[in-house]
Amino acid sequence: MPTEYMVPMAHITNHAHMNPELVVGALQRLEQQMSNLRCRARELSKAENSGDLAFAVLATEGTRQALGTIAATMINLKRQVVPADGLGATLESSGELVIRAARMVMIEQVRQLRLAISGLTARERACAAFAAWSHDVSAASSFLDDRLQQIDDIWMPYRRTGPTTAVYGNRVLYRAAICVAQRAMRELGNDPGFGCFLREGVTRMEWPVVRRAVASILAMVTLHIDIEPDSQLLGAAPLFRVGIGHDNGI
Domain boundaries, the chain: 7-234
CA geometry: angle 92, 95, 164, nearest 5 deg: 40
Task: Enter the pTM of the model.
Answer: 0.77
pLDDT (average), residues 53-59: 84
Percent of the chain with pLDDT over 90: 34
Amino acid 231: pLDDT: 45
DSSP letter for each residue of the chain: --GGG---GGGS--TTT--HHHHHHHHHHHHHHHHHHHHHHHHHHHHHHH--HHHHHHHHHHHHHHHHHHHHHHHHHHHHHTTTSSS-S----HHHHHHHHHHHHHHHHHHHHHHHHHT--HHHHHSHHHHHHHHHHHHHHHHHHHHHHHHHHHHGGGSTTS-SSTTTT-HHHHHHHHHHHHHHHHGGGGSHHHHHHHHHHTT-TT-HHHHHHHHHHHHHHT------S-GGGGSSS------SSS----
Amino acid 217: pLDDT: 94
User: Could you read off the pLDDT of 177-223 as tens digits, one per residue?
Assistant: 999 999 999 999 999 999 988 998 888 777 788 888 999 999 999 99
User: Could you read off the pLDDT of 115-165 as tens digits, one per residue?
Assistant: 887 776 676 666 666 666 777 888 888 999 999 999 999 999 988 765 544
pLDDT (average), residues 59-65: 88
Amino acid 101: pLDDT: 96
pLDDT band at 166 (very low <50, low <70, confident <90, very high): very low
Residue 236 has pLDDT above 90, yes or no: no
pLDDT (average), residues 84-95: 90
Residue 168 has pLDDT above 70, yes or no: no
